[in-house]
Amino acid sequence: MSLYQVNKFLRDVSRSATLAQRCQNSLGSVLNDYDLTTQEKVALERWQIRALYEMGVNPLLLLTSSMAMGQDMRSYVAALNEKK
């Protein structure tokens, strides 16, 4: 697993409004710029917060990148508390 690359992607999204906008329009092409596993790409493309958290992704990066992508705190918490 390339956990570093996932965290790097999330950090980049939370720090760049331009990148967050690109993600909202064409997430798949942005993800190609990062060395991610298939499982990681799927979780990011579907924005599966709980799955990413269980992979070991930094929860603060998940929160800040979710907000940068236009989600509110309630949506983030609901997704984080989602059961399989």
Residue 1 pLDDT greater than 70, yes or no:
no
Cα 67 to Cα 16, 23, 51, distances in angstroms: 12, 13, 18
pLDDT single digits (tens) 47-66: 999 999 999 999 999 999 99
Residue whose entry in the numeric block shows the structure tokens 């990066």: 61
- pLDDT for res 75: 87
Average pLDDT, the chain: 91
Pick 5 or 83 by higher pLDDT.
Answer: 5
pLDDT of 84 reads 62
- What's the pTM value of the predicted model, to 2 decimals? 0.87
